[in-house]
Structure 1
Amino acid sequence: MHLVALLCDCLLDLVTSVGIPLLLVISYAQEFDTKAGNFNVLRWFQDRWLVNSMNEFNIILILSWGDLATRMVFAVSMLINLTTMEGLMSAATSTDYRNSPASPQGAIIAPFDKLDAPGPGHAHNVVVWTDRLASSKLMRSAFFFWGVVILGLHIHAETNPMLPQCLVQVHPWGVSKPACSLVLLNCLADDTDGEQEHVASQWSQFDSNSVRCLLVRNCPRFEMPSTLASFESLNTLKAYNTTIIKWEDDAAFTQRSHPNMQGAMFMRVNLTNGELPPGLQSSNFPPSLNMIGFVVSNLRVLPDDLHLKWPRYSAIHFDTTQFTEFPEPLWKIRPTILIMSYNPIESVPKELFELEAMWYLDLAGTKLSALPDDVAVLVNPLVGVNLGGTNISSFPSWIDPWLKRMANPFSPPLAAAGTPYCLQREQIFSGTRTKFLATTSSTGVSALMNSSEANRAFLANTVNCQPSFLYRYALAFEDTFQTL
């Protein structure tokens, strides 16, 4: 019976440490695109899938030394059990050998060297040790009590009620309130405008430490309650089809209250006077919150000292907002990705092209008619620039070294669909035009303006005249499952 118990313990350890993570890996492997090196990009916009994946990746991956130590318990337990099982089987084999007749009947299939078998003293010690351990009432009582405690914690966690605002409910031990990883506040379904009292009441019904992702939808007069400061595990905030009229300092994103915060996206969201609320301007802004976006918003101005608050090298999305001038704090933040598409800006500073960490820039749909003339040679890791839908018809010479370095027939680095330049290039390629319109520049014109036959391959490999939506937020996909 002791051997059977040890075998069951080994199987449980194996299932816990290997079986469950392996099943999760298999489920995700079926969706993973090995050619693209990623899941379907739209998966990352599905809130339930995203939160479930974050929870399950914690099971698959080792994220800390404490996590490693916890998992080592199962491995060490399994090794100890295997060693004990080996001792039991060796003892049993030794006992059978001693009790067998001196002259066994039948043919000898293989020789048995007594010198290779464990000595009687060793077998006796193993038997005595295991018998004492198995018969110890104190040890058995301790394990029984531990099992009862674990069972009680499981039962208590499962008895917490389901809440309608919990889209993904979890069941941690020792929590008195329902625990939610994904929380939805839908003012349309709740028949409210988003008053602070109502929101605080909704968010106080569940355990604050379990919230990973917070969704706010369809609130015409949303007021952010101070309850937000209690969500210390919050990772993502998404607001959709909402007007934020109040978000004060007591509910601000801070390093102390939100140390794990990574992303804040606002889609079809309007702000009072088109200005950032105080809740997004804390002087103790979380350095991990490095993805911030407004998509279709009346945001029109940024505070002058924003670069001193928001973390450097962030990914910033200001798509279809109302900036009429390029905000100077933006380039001072030194973003890695900057989406400024469909803003009515007419010029951009040269510093924008000199940032050491910038690797994608989207200025599509703006009112740009020319790039800055006096830009130093590009030395940043820039892999793409989108100027589609602008009024640009020519390019300065400083862009040539970058274009020659990044030229790719399958993925040209410069997107310019719908520009006068692409219109002229298509006419040249079709033979209805012989050269680009004459342009002047204080630093000389780019090789992109050379329409000779010898330069046609360079033109095709560096400029993409097809629409590009790279790194844009998938708002159309979001609209399909959001309630307007």
Structure 2
Amino acid sequence: MVVATEYVCSLVNNSCAVNRIAGHQDDRIKNSNVEYLPATWIDMPDIAPFILVSDAQLSARIEANESVFAAENSTVLVMSEPQWFYVQAVNVRCEIIQADHLSRLIGTIWINRLFAMVIVINCWPMPIVRLVCRHHRNPALKRVLEMITDALMNVAYDVVIPYAILYPYQRDFNTTTRMFDGTVYYQDGWFATTTRNLQQLFISSWFNFICTIGPGFSMLSCMSTIKFCVHPQNNRVVGANAHGMDTLRVLGRGIRIRNAYLRLTKVASVILSSAGLFVLIIHLHATLVANLGGNSGCLLELRPWFKTKYTCVVLEASCTRQGVNAPQLALEDAVSEMDPNGIRSLVLSHCPQIEMPTQIRALLGLEQLKIYNSTIKTWEMDAAIDASTKPGLQFVYIIETNMSGIPPALLHRDLPLRLTDIEFSGTNLTRIPADLHEYWSHVQFLCLEASPGITEIPPSTAQMPSLSQLNLAGNVIAAVPDNQFVANAFYSVNLGGNPLHSLPIELGFTLLLHDIRIQHTKIASLPLKWFQEPPPSNIWGTCVIIMAGDSPLCDKLFANETDVVEGSTVPVPVNRTGLNTFIVDGYLVDCTSMPLQRFYPVEYERAWRQKNL
């Protein structure tokens, strides 16, 4: 017969509040050998709120004021009820912040809905699971269900949603050329969408970093807790006898502790349920604003939370669709009915008389401006593009448009510094200002193509220090001055489709030069000076490519003629490396025949504009 002292061990705050009961004799524990209680019991007061300790070894530990819980799992992350609620509260807060951020950046409707659903489901498992499992005999089941639900929602948050944002780029990326197809850069909203997707995918601040990784740590702790709920420690604990259970009735302190936990559970359920309801209401409000304020000219909309105005990222003002001659009305609607700061790309199309309205200055967030199939009547300084009202503007495309000259609103010294790409394709321009370099010193890509009125290379382009790509295809340029490219450091020069007979003898700085395009020209030979010096090599260590399809130069190469260098008295070595490619003393000449195409994808542009025709 073993004599032991019985104790009531109330589990609270990760400690054992011990109350001595009485000494008595118990035949059932004479063969027991319990040294510790399971460590997980510390963190599961709803599973084992009161433990009757009547084992000799445990009693000795309690008398010596030593821990009665197993220490081997002390380093394992197992969450108690209060800890789990605090972690959930932090996670939900992080997810709400991220969802608000996503609603302002991502225009894909189903992704926004999925994110909102994830938060709502993450807020509601505690009350729902506890309601369903309130009569279940295994209290650990509700903890497991709560943790599994939380872990699954974190997988959707950390894996599914980021991959859904990234997938379109993975699908469209050409692994052979290691780049996207050139037409995607001109699609309505592609650039605006891509920049915002990258902001959502990548970390932009320390606060964003914390909000992003927080749910990941929560998922890890959930997995650890589930492990110890499903597979508890195999420790033996002596059951309580009838005498011991009677003595529990006098321990009011233990009852108060349990009631406190029940109150905490109810409060936590109410708080999390309210947070889920709040997210649901905010998301429905954003959806309602988008549905009520929808504009048929909006090609890409956002549904940001806490906004009372319709947010359109890409807006097309089509005069044909609205039955007007000028786009003033559409811009007035954009400023009055939409959030003007939300418009990132503006398309003015099918307008026979554009008198650029001053409302364009109110579009402070504009990044891309496109004018298609229109006639620019006036575009004065009162509607000018400047750094103060358009600090983020980067692209100006004027396509298939009538204009007597470059508008004054684009010819001043206060243009946005980020405006690096200006393209004119299919216009009736006849003159380019001689002082263009003074206004466009920061422009890197200049396109003046398919303009029959352009008969010479604008001399001012020789003084544009940032210019790296010059496209003059499809004009009526008959000659290029020999010193035209001396001061330039081009990546690409396109002179195709011009009635050129010769090329300039100077190429300028060739460190970045990748290709020279002279398809559909009358050029029959290359300048001698190009071969009097070592062939240029670029930073990639490759030959400079001369694309000369459908030119007399390629006719000579196909005929195995060697007089392909103007004025050379010594034959220049020519090696055929492929069906349509030749190496001419260090230059790679590509003679592939193809129709003359504009650099700007006009055919795609016509298809894009069909929606609002």
Do both proteins adopt the same fold according to a TM-score greater than 0.5, normalized to the shorter chain?
yes
Q: Classify 1:327/1:288 alpha carbon distance in 2 versus 1 (closer, same or farther; 3 Å).
A: same
Letter in 2 for 1:369: H
Matched residues in 2 for 1:137 and 1:147: separation?
15
The more displaced of 303-312 and 314-323 is 303-312
The more displaced of 410-419 and 92-101 is 92-101
Are residues 1:221 and 2:350 paired?
no
The counterpart of 1:186, out of the listed 318, 341, 345, is 318
Aligned partner of 2:433 in structure 1 is: 303
1:19-168 correspondence runs (5 A): 19-47=160-188, 52-59=193-200, 61-62=201-202, 64-65=204-205, 69-80=207-218, 82-83=220-221, 86=224, 97=235, 99=237, 135=264, 142-160=271-289, 161=292, 162-168=294-300
Aligned partner of 2:512 in structure 1 is: 381
Contact 2:366–2:392 (CA under 8 A) maintained in structure 1? yes
Contact 1:319–1:343 (CA under 8 A) maintained in structure 2? yes
Matched residues in 1 for 2:180 and 2:238: separation?
63
Letter in 2 for 1:314: Q
Aligned partner of 2:583 in structure 1 is: 458
Matched residues in 2 for 1:227 and 1:382: separation?
41
Secondary structure of the structure 2 residue equivalent to 1:391? coil
Q: Classify 1:69/1:454 alpha carbon distance in 2 versus 1 (closer, same or farther; 3 Å).
A: closer
1:310-321 correspondence runs (5 A): 310-312=440-442, 314-321=444-451
Contact 1:17–1:71 (CA under 8 A) maintained in structure 2? no
Secondary structure of the structure 2 residue equivalent to 1:265? strand
User: Following TM superposition, by how much is the alpha carbon of 1:20 offset from its aligned partner in structure 2, in angstroms?
Assistant: 0.7
Are residues 1:436 and 2:545 paired?
no
The more displaced of 69-78 and 234-243 is 69-78
RMSD: 3.8
User: Following TM superposition, by how much is the alpha carbon of 1:35 offset from its aligned partner in structure 2, in angstroms?
Assistant: 1.0
Contact 2:422–2:443 (CA under 8 A) maintained in structure 1? no
Contact 2:374–2:401 (CA under 8 A) maintained in structure 1? yes
Structure 1 segments unaligned to the other structure (5+ residues): 103-127
Contact 1:399–1:446 (CA under 8 A) maintained in structure 2? no
Matched residues in 1 for 2:295 and 2:576: separation?
68
Matched residues in 2 for 1:98 and 1:251: separation?
83
Q: Classify 1:199/1:467 alpha carbon distance in 2 versus 1 (closer, same or farther; 3 Å).
A: farther
Are residues 1:474 and 2:606 paired?
no
Are residues 1:343 and 2:475 paired?
yes
User: Following TM superposition, by how much is the alpha carbon of 1:5 offset from its aligned partner in structure 2, in angstroms?
Assistant: 3.5
Matched residues in 2 for 1:454 and 1:174: separation?
65
User: Following TM superposition, by how much is the alpha carbon of 1:90 offset from its aligned partner in structure 2, in angstroms?
Assistant: 5.3
User: Following TM superposition, by how much is the alpha carbon of 1:362 offset from its aligned partner in structure 2, in angstroms?
Assistant: 0.6
Are residues 1:11 and 2:152 paired?
yes
Matched residues in 1 for 2:547 and 2:219: separation?
62
Q: Rg: which structure is higher? A: 2
Secondary structure of the structure 2 residue equivalent to 1:15? helix
The counterpart of 2:547, out of the listed 411, 415, 430, is 415
Secondary structure of the structure 1 residue equivalent to 2:373? strand
TM-score, structure 1 length as denominator?
A: 0.77
User: Following TM superposition, by how much is the alpha carbon of 1:182 offset from its aligned partner in structure 2, in angstroms?
Assistant: 1.7
Secondary structure of the structure 2 residue equivalent to 1:35? coil
Contact 1:252–1:281 (CA under 8 A) maintained in structure 2? no
Aligned partner of 1:260 in structure 2 is: 392
Aligned partner of 1:237 in structure 2 is: 369
The more displaced of 183-192 and 1-10 is 1-10
Aligned partner of 1:120 in structure 2 is: none
Q: CA-to-partner distance for each residue in 1:94-116, whole Å, 9 max, x for gaps?
A: 798363579xxxxxxxxxxxxxx
Q: Classify 1:388/1:154 alpha carbon distance in 2 versus 1 (closer, same or farther; 3 Å).
A: same
TM-score, structure 2 length as denominator?
A: 0.62
User: Following TM superposition, by how much is the alpha carbon of 1:183 offset from its aligned partner in structure 2, in angstroms?
Assistant: 1.0
Matched residues in 2 for 1:381 and 1:446: separation?
30
Aligned partner of 1:294 in structure 2 is: 424
Letter in 2 for 1:25: L
Contact 1:232–1:257 (CA under 8 A) maintained in structure 2? yes
Matched residues in 1 for 2:263 and 2:563: separation?
90
Matched residues in 1 for 2:149 and 2:157: separation?
12
Contact 2:575–2:584 (CA under 8 A) maintained in structure 1? no
Matched residues in 2 for 1:92 and 1:437: separation?
82
Matched residues in 2 for 1:446 and 1:218: separation?
57
Letter in 2 for 1:15: A
User: Following TM superposition, by how much is the alpha carbon of 1:283 offset from its aligned partner in structure 2, in angstroms?
Assistant: 2.4
Aligned partner of 1:332 in structure 2 is: 463
Aligned partner of 2:408 in structure 1 is: 278
Q: Classify 1:173/1:377 alpha carbon distance in 2 versus 1 (closer, same or farther; 3 Å).
A: closer
User: Following TM superposition, by how much is the alpha carbon of 1:402 offset from its aligned partner in structure 2, in angstroms?
Assistant: 6.9
Matched residues in 1 for 2:190 and 2:457: separation?
36
Point out which structure has higher relative CO (alpha carbons under 8 A, 6+ apart). Answer: 2
Matched residues in 2 for 1:278 and 1:89: separation?
71
User: Following TM superposition, by how much is the alpha carbon of 1:48 offset from its aligned partner in structure 2, in angstroms?
Assistant: 5.8
Secondary structure of the structure 2 residue equivalent to 1:204? helix
Matched residues in 2 for 1:454 and 1:218: separation?
49
Matched residues in 2 for 1:377 and 1:277: separation?
30
Contact 2:445–2:470 (CA under 8 A) maintained in structure 1? yes
The counterpart of 2:336, out of the listed 204, 210, 221, is 204
Contact 1:261–1:288 (CA under 8 A) maintained in structure 2? yes
1:365-376 correspondence runs (5 A): 365-373=497-505, 375=506
Matched residues in 2 for 1:29 and 1:286: separation?
32
Matched residues in 1 for 2:534 and 2:428: separation?
35
Contact 2:367–2:395 (CA under 8 A) maintained in structure 1? yes
Secondary structure of the structure 2 residue equivalent to 1:184? strand
Aligned partner of 1:110 in structure 2 is: none
User: Following TM superposition, by how much is the alpha carbon of 1:259 offset from its aligned partner in structure 2, in angstroms?
Assistant: 2.6
The more displaced of 217-226 and 394-403 is 394-403
Aligned partner of 1:118 in structure 2 is: none
Secondary structure of the structure 2 residue equivalent to 1:381? coil
Matched residues in 2 for 1:377 and 1:360: separation?
12
Matched residues in 2 for 1:411 and 1:437: separation?
18
Q: Classify 1:352/1:402 alpha carbon distance in 2 versus 1 (closer, same or farther; 3 Å).
A: farther
User: Following TM superposition, by how much is the alpha carbon of 1:247 offset from its aligned partner in structure 2, in angstroms?
Assistant: 2.0
Contact 1:326–1:345 (CA under 8 A) maintained in structure 2? yes
Contact 1:377–1:399 (CA under 8 A) maintained in structure 2? no
Contact 2:344–2:365 (CA under 8 A) maintained in structure 1? yes
